[in-house]
Amino acid sequence: MIKTKMNELLGIKYPIIQAGMGPFSNNKLCIAAANAGALGLMSTSGICSGTRDYQKEIYQHWAKTGNADPNAAMEDILRQALDQACEGTKASGGVFGLNVMVSGPMIEDATKLINTAIAYREEHPEVKDRFKVIFTSAGDPLPWGDKIKGAGFKWLHVIPSVKGALRCQRAGVDMIVASGHEGGFHTSWEPVHSMVLLPAVVDALAGSGILVAGAGGFCDGKSLAAALTLGAVGIQMGTRFLATQESDFAPLWKEGVVAAGDRGTLVARGFVGPARWIKTETSKVHQKNTLELTPELYLDSPGPVTEGALKLMDYERAAINAVYAGDKEKAMYAGGECAQRVNDMPKVKDMLETIMQEAVNTIKNLPSVLS
Protein backbone atom coordinates (compact mmCIF):
# COMPACT_ATOMS: atom_id res chain seq x y z
CA MET A 1 0.00 0.00 0.00
CA ILE A 2 1.17 3.54 -0.80
CA LYS A 3 0.44 6.32 1.67
CA THR A 4 1.55 9.93 1.22
CA LYS A 5 0.86 13.25 2.91
CA MET A 6 -1.93 13.72 0.38
CA ASN A 7 -3.77 10.76 1.92
CA GLU A 8 -3.43 12.37 5.34
CA LEU A 9 -4.48 15.86 4.24
CA LEU A 10 -7.61 14.75 2.40
CA GLY A 11 -8.48 11.58 4.29
CA ILE A 12 -8.53 9.39 1.17
CA LYS A 13 -7.35 5.83 0.56
CA TYR A 14 -5.37 6.44 -2.62
CA PRO A 15 -3.20 9.48 -3.57
CA ILE A 16 -5.29 10.11 -6.67
CA ILE A 17 -7.65 12.96 -7.65
CA GLN A 18 -10.42 12.54 -10.21
CA ALA A 19 -10.22 15.74 -12.26
CA GLY A 20 -13.19 18.09 -12.46
CA MET A 21 -13.12 18.24 -16.28
CA GLY A 22 -15.56 21.14 -16.56
CA PRO A 23 -17.81 22.33 -18.03
CA PHE A 24 -18.97 18.75 -18.39
CA SER A 25 -20.79 16.71 -15.77
CA ASN A 26 -18.85 14.56 -13.32
CA ASN A 27 -21.69 14.11 -10.87
CA LYS A 28 -21.93 10.32 -10.97
CA LEU A 29 -18.22 9.86 -11.65
CA CYS A 30 -17.42 11.93 -8.57
CA ILE A 31 -19.44 9.56 -6.39
CA ALA A 32 -17.82 6.47 -7.92
CA ALA A 33 -14.31 7.90 -7.50
CA ALA A 34 -14.94 8.89 -3.88
CA ASN A 35 -16.46 5.52 -3.04
CA ALA A 36 -13.45 3.76 -4.57
CA GLY A 37 -10.93 5.67 -2.44
CA ALA A 38 -9.83 8.62 -4.61
CA LEU A 39 -10.82 12.27 -4.22
CA GLY A 40 -13.94 12.78 -6.32
CA LEU A 41 -14.51 16.21 -7.85
CA MET A 42 -17.73 17.69 -9.23
CA SER A 43 -17.28 20.26 -11.96
CA THR A 44 -19.45 23.36 -11.60
CA SER A 45 -18.87 25.48 -14.71
CA GLY A 46 -21.49 23.35 -16.45
CA ILE A 47 -24.23 25.15 -14.52
CA CYS A 48 -22.79 28.64 -14.79
CA SER A 49 -24.51 31.38 -16.77
CA GLY A 50 -22.27 31.08 -19.83
CA THR A 51 -23.00 27.38 -20.21
CA ARG A 52 -26.69 27.90 -19.59
CA ASP A 53 -26.90 30.58 -22.28
CA TYR A 54 -24.58 29.17 -24.95
CA GLN A 55 -24.13 25.43 -24.35
CA LYS A 56 -27.60 24.24 -23.46
CA GLU A 57 -26.91 20.56 -24.13
CA ILE A 58 -24.04 20.53 -21.62
CA TYR A 59 -26.13 22.49 -19.11
CA GLN A 60 -29.11 20.15 -19.42
CA HIS A 61 -26.87 17.09 -19.08
CA TRP A 62 -25.20 18.51 -15.97
CA ALA A 63 -28.54 19.13 -14.26
CA LYS A 64 -29.90 15.72 -15.26
CA THR A 65 -26.89 13.82 -13.91
CA GLY A 66 -27.10 15.90 -10.72
CA ASN A 67 -30.72 14.81 -10.19
CA ALA A 68 -31.75 18.46 -10.48
CA ASP A 69 -34.36 20.53 -12.30
CA PRO A 70 -32.66 22.40 -15.20
CA ASN A 71 -35.14 25.24 -14.73
CA ALA A 72 -34.03 25.91 -11.17
CA ALA A 73 -31.52 28.56 -10.13
CA MET A 74 -27.83 27.66 -10.33
CA GLU A 75 -27.52 27.51 -6.55
CA ASP A 76 -30.48 25.13 -6.25
CA ILE A 77 -29.12 22.85 -8.97
CA LEU A 78 -25.84 22.66 -7.08
CA ARG A 79 -27.64 21.85 -3.84
CA GLN A 80 -29.48 18.98 -5.52
CA ALA A 81 -26.22 17.59 -6.89
CA LEU A 82 -24.63 17.90 -3.45
CA ASP A 83 -27.56 16.04 -1.92
CA GLN A 84 -26.97 13.25 -4.42
CA ALA A 85 -23.22 13.13 -3.73
CA CYS A 86 -23.70 13.13 0.03
CA GLU A 87 -26.22 10.31 -0.16
CA GLY A 88 -24.14 8.39 -2.67
CA THR A 89 -20.98 8.45 -0.51
CA LYS A 90 -22.70 7.91 2.83
CA ALA A 91 -22.02 4.19 3.11
CA SER A 92 -18.37 4.35 2.02
CA GLY A 93 -17.39 7.60 3.72
CA GLY A 94 -15.81 8.68 0.41
CA VAL A 95 -14.35 12.18 0.17
CA PHE A 96 -15.40 14.64 -2.52
CA GLY A 97 -15.33 18.32 -3.41
CA LEU A 98 -16.12 20.98 -5.99
CA ASN A 99 -14.00 22.27 -8.84
CA VAL A 100 -14.76 25.99 -9.35
CA MET A 101 -13.34 28.14 -12.14
CA VAL A 102 -12.35 31.57 -10.77
CA SER A 103 -11.25 33.38 -13.93
CA GLY A 104 -12.25 37.02 -14.34
CA PRO A 105 -15.43 36.52 -16.41
CA MET A 106 -16.66 33.88 -13.95
CA ILE A 107 -16.08 35.71 -10.65
CA GLU A 108 -19.77 36.39 -10.03
CA ASP A 109 -20.82 32.78 -10.63
CA ALA A 110 -17.80 31.45 -8.73
CA THR A 111 -18.72 33.54 -5.70
CA LYS A 112 -22.28 32.22 -5.75
CA LEU A 113 -21.09 28.62 -6.09
CA ILE A 114 -18.56 28.85 -3.27
CA ASN A 115 -21.02 30.67 -1.01
CA THR A 116 -23.57 27.93 -1.70
CA ALA A 117 -21.01 25.23 -0.87
CA ILE A 118 -20.10 26.97 2.39
CA ALA A 119 -23.75 27.36 3.39
CA TYR A 120 -24.57 23.77 2.46
CA ARG A 121 -21.72 22.42 4.56
CA GLU A 122 -22.77 24.49 7.57
CA GLU A 123 -26.36 23.30 7.20
CA HIS A 124 -25.22 19.66 6.99
CA PRO A 125 -22.47 19.22 9.59
CA GLU A 126 -22.74 15.44 9.27
CA VAL A 127 -21.08 15.62 5.80
CA LYS A 128 -18.05 17.73 6.78
CA ASP A 129 -15.78 14.68 6.86
CA ARG A 130 -16.77 13.85 3.27
CA PHE A 131 -17.56 17.15 1.56
CA LYS A 132 -14.25 18.73 2.47
CA VAL A 133 -12.52 20.13 -0.65
CA ILE A 134 -12.82 23.25 -2.79
CA PHE A 135 -10.61 23.02 -5.87
CA THR A 136 -10.17 26.32 -7.72
CA SER A 137 -8.85 26.66 -11.26
CA ALA A 138 -8.36 28.97 -14.24
CA GLY A 139 -7.81 32.14 -12.23
CA ASP A 140 -5.99 33.99 -9.47
CA PRO A 141 -6.10 32.15 -6.12
CA LEU A 142 -5.17 35.19 -4.05
CA PRO A 143 -8.68 36.57 -3.31
CA TRP A 144 -10.17 33.25 -2.20
CA GLY A 145 -8.14 32.04 0.78
CA ASP A 146 -10.05 33.65 3.65
CA LYS A 147 -13.42 32.55 2.27
CA ILE A 148 -12.52 28.93 1.48
CA LYS A 149 -10.15 28.10 4.32
CA GLY A 150 -12.18 30.17 6.75
CA ALA A 151 -15.10 27.84 6.09
CA GLY A 152 -13.01 24.79 6.98
CA PHE A 153 -12.48 23.40 3.49
CA LYS A 154 -9.20 21.95 2.29
CA TRP A 155 -8.16 24.20 -0.59
CA LEU A 156 -6.52 22.97 -3.80
CA HIS A 157 -5.60 25.05 -6.85
CA VAL A 158 -4.27 23.99 -10.26
CA ILE A 159 -1.39 25.86 -11.94
CA PRO A 160 0.69 25.54 -15.15
CA SER A 161 3.89 27.26 -13.98
CA VAL A 162 6.30 27.94 -11.13
CA LYS A 163 5.06 31.54 -11.12
CA GLY A 164 1.54 30.26 -10.50
CA ALA A 165 2.77 27.97 -7.74
CA LEU A 166 4.44 30.86 -5.92
CA ARG A 167 1.20 32.82 -6.22
CA CYS A 168 -0.56 29.89 -4.54
CA GLN A 169 2.03 29.90 -1.77
CA ARG A 170 1.30 33.57 -1.12
CA ALA A 171 -2.45 32.84 -1.10
CA GLY A 172 -2.14 30.04 1.45
CA VAL A 173 -3.32 27.12 -0.70
CA ASP A 174 -3.13 23.74 1.08
CA MET A 175 -2.17 21.76 -1.99
CA ILE A 176 -1.19 22.56 -5.58
CA VAL A 177 -1.83 20.51 -8.70
CA ALA A 178 0.89 21.22 -11.26
CA SER A 179 -0.72 20.56 -14.63
CA GLY A 180 1.56 19.78 -17.57
CA HIS A 181 0.78 20.41 -21.21
CA GLU A 182 -0.09 16.74 -21.81
CA GLY A 183 -3.47 17.29 -20.18
CA GLY A 184 -6.78 17.12 -22.01
CA PHE A 185 -9.09 19.95 -23.01
CA HIS A 186 -7.89 23.15 -21.29
CA THR A 187 -4.11 23.35 -21.58
CA SER A 188 -1.76 26.18 -20.70
CA TRP A 189 -0.58 28.73 -23.28
CA GLU A 190 3.05 27.74 -22.74
CA PRO A 191 3.86 24.11 -23.64
CA VAL A 192 5.61 23.13 -20.40
CA HIS A 193 5.17 19.41 -19.84
CA SER A 194 4.95 17.42 -16.63
CA MET A 195 8.51 16.06 -16.70
CA VAL A 196 9.78 19.65 -16.45
CA LEU A 197 6.95 21.37 -14.59
CA LEU A 198 6.36 18.95 -11.74
CA PRO A 199 9.92 18.77 -10.30
CA ALA A 200 10.35 22.52 -10.88
CA VAL A 201 7.26 23.28 -8.77
CA VAL A 202 8.30 20.78 -6.10
CA ASP A 203 11.73 22.44 -5.87
CA ALA A 204 10.25 25.96 -5.83
CA LEU A 205 7.99 25.08 -2.89
CA ALA A 206 10.54 23.07 -0.92
CA GLY A 207 10.19 23.82 2.77
CA SER A 208 6.86 25.62 2.38
CA GLY A 209 4.74 22.75 3.65
CA ILE A 210 2.50 23.00 0.57
CA LEU A 211 1.83 19.63 -1.04
CA VAL A 212 2.19 19.17 -4.80
CA ALA A 213 0.39 16.68 -7.04
CA GLY A 214 1.00 16.15 -10.73
CA ALA A 215 -1.51 16.32 -13.59
CA GLY A 216 -1.12 15.90 -17.33
CA GLY A 217 -0.13 12.50 -18.73
CA PHE A 218 -0.81 10.47 -15.58
CA CYS A 219 -3.02 7.45 -16.14
CA ASP A 220 -1.60 4.31 -14.54
CA GLY A 221 0.68 2.85 -11.88
CA LYS A 222 3.88 3.55 -13.77
CA SER A 223 3.07 7.24 -14.11
CA LEU A 224 1.94 7.45 -10.46
CA ALA A 225 5.30 5.98 -9.42
CA ALA A 226 7.06 8.49 -11.67
CA ALA A 227 5.19 11.39 -10.04
CA LEU A 228 6.19 10.18 -6.58
CA THR A 229 9.79 9.89 -7.73
CA LEU A 230 9.66 13.48 -8.98
CA GLY A 231 8.63 14.67 -5.51
CA ALA A 232 4.83 14.78 -5.82
CA VAL A 233 2.47 13.37 -3.22
CA GLY A 234 0.03 12.03 -5.78
CA ILE A 235 -1.60 12.59 -9.14
CA GLN A 236 -4.72 13.96 -10.76
CA MET A 237 -6.24 12.03 -13.66
CA GLY A 238 -8.91 13.25 -16.05
CA THR A 239 -8.78 11.32 -19.31
CA ARG A 240 -8.31 7.97 -17.57
CA PHE A 241 -11.36 8.58 -15.33
CA LEU A 242 -13.36 9.82 -18.33
CA ALA A 243 -13.14 6.40 -19.96
CA THR A 244 -14.77 4.40 -17.17
CA GLN A 245 -18.12 2.70 -16.89
CA GLU A 246 -19.45 5.16 -14.30
CA SER A 247 -18.32 8.28 -16.17
CA ASP A 248 -21.09 10.77 -17.00
CA PHE A 249 -19.52 11.54 -20.39
CA ALA A 250 -21.42 10.59 -23.54
CA PRO A 251 -20.73 7.06 -24.84
CA LEU A 252 -19.27 8.43 -28.08
CA TRP A 253 -16.77 10.51 -26.10
CA LYS A 254 -15.63 7.60 -23.96
CA GLU A 255 -15.32 5.34 -26.99
CA GLY A 256 -13.29 8.04 -28.77
CA VAL A 257 -10.73 8.14 -25.96
CA VAL A 258 -10.34 4.36 -25.91
CA ALA A 259 -9.91 4.28 -29.71
CA ALA A 260 -7.45 7.21 -29.88
CA GLY A 261 -4.25 5.17 -30.33
CA ASP A 262 -0.69 6.30 -30.99
CA ARG A 263 -0.25 10.08 -31.53
CA GLY A 264 -3.96 10.39 -30.99
CA THR A 265 -4.36 14.03 -29.93
CA LEU A 266 -3.83 17.56 -31.23
CA VAL A 267 -4.03 21.11 -29.84
CA ALA A 268 -6.49 23.64 -31.27
CA ARG A 269 -8.77 26.42 -30.06
CA GLY A 270 -10.95 25.78 -27.00
CA PHE A 271 -13.52 27.82 -25.07
CA VAL A 272 -10.88 29.58 -22.98
CA GLY A 273 -7.74 29.15 -25.05
CA PRO A 274 -5.67 26.14 -26.17
CA ALA A 275 -7.39 22.78 -25.86
CA ARG A 276 -6.25 19.23 -26.50
CA TRP A 277 -8.61 17.16 -28.65
CA ILE A 278 -8.76 13.54 -29.72
CA LYS A 279 -7.53 13.45 -33.32
CA THR A 280 -10.43 12.97 -35.75
CA GLU A 281 -11.26 14.40 -39.16
CA THR A 282 -13.43 17.00 -37.42
CA SER A 283 -10.71 18.08 -34.99
CA LYS A 284 -8.13 18.18 -37.80
CA VAL A 285 -10.34 20.71 -39.60
CA HIS A 286 -10.63 22.63 -36.33
CA GLN A 287 -6.84 22.67 -35.95
CA LYS A 288 -6.38 23.93 -39.50
CA ASN A 289 -8.96 26.66 -38.94
CA THR A 290 -7.28 27.59 -35.65
CA LEU A 291 -3.97 28.13 -37.41
CA GLU A 292 -5.67 30.29 -40.03
CA LEU A 293 -8.01 32.34 -37.83
CA THR A 294 -6.15 32.57 -34.50
CA PRO A 295 -2.43 31.84 -35.06
CA GLU A 296 -1.67 33.57 -31.76
CA LEU A 297 -2.87 30.40 -30.03
CA TYR A 298 0.42 28.78 -31.06
CA LEU A 299 2.49 31.83 -30.10
CA ASP A 300 2.09 31.64 -26.31
CA SER A 301 -0.10 34.76 -26.29
CA PRO A 302 -3.78 34.93 -25.31
CA GLY A 303 -4.49 38.08 -27.29
CA PRO A 304 -8.00 39.51 -27.72
CA VAL A 305 -11.09 37.45 -28.48
CA THR A 306 -11.26 38.09 -32.21
CA GLU A 307 -13.99 37.42 -34.75
CA GLY A 308 -11.98 34.39 -35.81
CA ALA A 309 -11.92 33.06 -32.26
CA LEU A 310 -15.69 33.45 -32.01
CA LYS A 311 -16.13 31.45 -35.24
CA LEU A 312 -13.96 28.68 -33.81
CA MET A 313 -15.96 28.61 -30.59
CA ASP A 314 -19.16 28.25 -32.59
CA TYR A 315 -17.59 25.30 -34.42
CA GLU A 316 -16.55 23.80 -31.09
CA ARG A 317 -20.03 24.13 -29.59
CA ALA A 318 -21.60 22.44 -32.58
CA ALA A 319 -19.04 19.61 -32.49
CA ILE A 320 -19.57 18.96 -28.77
CA ASN A 321 -23.34 19.05 -29.22
CA ALA A 322 -22.84 16.39 -31.90
CA VAL A 323 -21.17 14.18 -29.29
CA TYR A 324 -24.28 14.28 -27.11
CA ALA A 325 -26.43 13.66 -30.18
CA GLY A 326 -24.35 10.61 -31.11
CA ASP A 327 -23.31 12.11 -34.47
CA LYS A 328 -19.84 10.65 -34.92
CA GLU A 329 -19.19 12.41 -38.24
CA LYS A 330 -19.56 15.89 -36.73
CA ALA A 331 -18.42 15.14 -33.18
CA MET A 332 -15.27 16.43 -31.50
CA TYR A 333 -14.12 15.37 -28.05
CA ALA A 334 -11.27 16.39 -25.80
CA GLY A 335 -8.68 14.11 -24.24
CA GLY A 336 -5.16 14.15 -22.88
CA GLU A 337 -2.04 12.73 -24.52
CA CYS A 338 -2.40 9.67 -22.31
CA ALA A 339 -5.49 8.67 -24.34
CA GLN A 340 -3.13 6.61 -26.49
CA ARG A 341 -2.45 4.50 -23.39
CA VAL A 342 -6.12 4.12 -22.42
CA ASN A 343 -7.32 0.89 -23.99
CA ASP A 344 -10.34 -0.15 -21.96
CA MET A 345 -13.35 1.12 -20.05
CA PRO A 346 -13.26 -0.46 -16.58
CA LYS A 347 -15.22 0.21 -13.43
CA VAL A 348 -13.60 2.95 -11.36
CA LYS A 349 -12.90 0.67 -8.40
CA ASP A 350 -11.16 -1.95 -10.55
CA MET A 351 -9.14 0.72 -12.36
CA LEU A 352 -7.85 2.26 -9.13
CA GLU A 353 -6.93 -1.08 -7.63
CA THR A 354 -4.99 -1.98 -10.78
CA ILE A 355 -3.19 1.37 -10.79
CA MET A 356 -2.18 1.08 -7.17
CA GLN A 357 -0.88 -2.48 -7.55
CA GLU A 358 1.13 -1.50 -10.63
CA ALA A 359 2.59 1.47 -8.75
CA VAL A 360 3.62 -0.76 -5.84
CA ASN A 361 5.25 -3.26 -8.19
CA THR A 362 7.07 -0.49 -10.07
CA ILE A 363 8.44 1.02 -6.87
CA LYS A 364 9.50 -2.40 -5.55
CA ASN A 365 11.48 -3.00 -8.73
CA LEU A 366 13.39 0.30 -8.56
CA PRO A 367 16.12 -1.01 -6.21
CA SER A 368 17.10 -3.52 -8.91
CA VAL A 369 18.76 -0.71 -10.90
CA LEU A 370 21.05 0.22 -8.00
CA SER A 371 24.55 -1.25 -8.05
Residue 178, pLDDT score: 97
286, pLDDT greater than 80: yes
Percentage of residues of the chain with pLDDT beyond 90: 77
Nearest to 159 by CA among 185, 139, 134, 174: 139
Tell me the C-alpha to C-alpha distance, in Å, between residue 12 and each of 15, 94, 133, 184, 311. 7, 7, 12, 24, 43
Percentage of the chain lying above the pLDDT 70 cut: 99
pLDDT score recorded for residue 177: 97
Mean pLDDT of the chain, nearest integer:
93
pLDDT for position 22: 80
pLDDT of the residue at 304: 75
Mean pLDDT of 336-342: 95
Mean pLDDT of 202-230: 97
Q: What is the rounded average pLDDT of the residues 203-220? A: 96
Q: What is the CATH number assigned to the segment(s) 5-249+345-369?
A: 3.20.20.70
User: Could you tell me the pLDDT band of residue 292, with boundaries at 50, 70 and 90?
Assistant: very high
Q: Which residues contact 218 (CB under 8 A, 6 or more apart)?
A: 194, 224, 227, 235, 236, 237, 240, 338
Question: Which pLDDT does position 23 carry in this prediction?
Answer: 84
pLDDT score of 109: 92
Confidence of residue 309 (pLDDT cuts 50, 70, 90): confident
Q: Pick the range with the lowest mean pLDDT from 104-108, 123-127, 170-174.
A: 104-108
Boundaries of CATH 3.20.20.70 in the chain?
A: 5-249+345-369
DSSP-derived pairing of the beta strands 40-43 and 154-159: unpaired
Does the pTM surpass 0.75? The reply is yes
pLDDT at 4 over 90: yes
pLDDT above 80 (res 302): no
